[in-house]
Amino acid sequence: MSSKSKVLITGASTGIGATYAKRFAERGHDLVLVARSVEKLEANAVELRQQTGVTVDLLPADLTTEAGLLAVEARLRDDASIGILVNNAGSNVGGSFVTQSIDDLTKLVTLNATSVMRLSHAVAPRFAEKGEGSIVNISSVLAFAPEWQTSVYTATKSFVLLLSQALQAELGPKGVYVQAVLPAATRTEIWNFVDEDKRPPLMEVSELVDAALVGYDRREPITIPHLHREAFWEVLEAARLTFLDDTSHITAANRYLKAT
């Protein structure tokens, strides 16, 4: 068994989650892999064990269901060797808001947002009490793009971003590190909803995860691998804080006063 913290990764059967599993295994971390597909998890586990020698536990679970969430929450609460949580599981629904079914959208919110909140909540008290631990949440640059007509997906990724920032502010002083990773267009299965001729240039998953792990090692609260000009993020954050400062008035702005 590795002396390093065990890592629990959701959505670990393919794409970003599977690559995170490979990279953490290469770093010598034992793993708990969560996904719906048992076959893909088993195949990944065999390869990781052979290549790296780490222990790989499988926890098949559908995080759109109460039973699946409860199972993963229990593992996070009870397994004190887990010191890193990667909330990667996520999906999208094809179509527009007016054509998507409410059942599909409800499952999407549960997977993309509710599971991140619940799994983080399951592990945060233990991390805070111990004074160490890491939570990595996969958001998206679409958190800043409501006009891109992916309404509920965008809303869930905004939730993940703001939750991560709030948790970092609350848990950071207690020794817990929270990172939000914001990919832009990346070659994952989520692009199956978009015709190939309409897809933008896509970053490879391995490049995304490797960059995100550089941010992780640097303890960045926000990591945006696709963003080349970091000053843009700094300007955005400065504008946000200035905006908040200007909302401290106790009188309405002149533009909202009735005309006389």
For the stretch 126-178, pLDDT in tens is 999 999 999 999 999 999 999 988 999 999 999 999 999 999 999 999 999 99
Report if residue 114 sits inside a domain: yes
**Span 215-225, mean pLDDT?**
98
Question: 162-188 burial string, b = 16+ CB within 10 Å, else e?
Answer: ebbbebbeebeeeebbbbbbbbbbbbb
Phi and psi, residue 12, nearest 5°: -95, 5
Report if residue 160 sits inside a domain: yes
Is residue 196's pLDDT more than 80?
no
Cβ–Cβ under 8 Å, residues 72 and 88: no
- Orientation angle between helical segments 115-130 and 151-171, nearest 10 degrees: 10
Report how far residue 23's alpha carbon sits from residue 109's, in angstroms, rounded to the nearest whole number. Answer: 28
- Which structural domain range is residue 210 located in? 6-228
Q: How far is CA 220 from CA 19, 68, 107, in A?
A: 20, 30, 30
Total count of domains within the chain: 1
Q: Read off the CATH number of the domain in which 133 is found.
A: 3.40.50.720
Report if residue 252 sits inside a domain: no
Q: Which amino acid is at 164?
A: S
Phi and psi, residue 10, nearest 5°: -95, 155
CB contact set of 260 (below 8 Å; sequence gap of 6+): none
Is residue 25's pLDDT more than 60?
yes
pLDDT reported for residue 191 = 59
Mean pLDDT over all residues of the chain? 94
The model's pTM is 0.94
For the stretch 29-61, pLDDT in tens is 999 999 998 999 999 999 999 999 999 999 999
Report if residue 222 sits inside a domain: yes
3-state secondary structure of 165: helix
Cβ–Cβ under 8 Å, residues 172 and 133: no
Sign of CA dihedral 176, 182, 188, 193: positive
Any idea which residues carry the catalytic annotation?
153
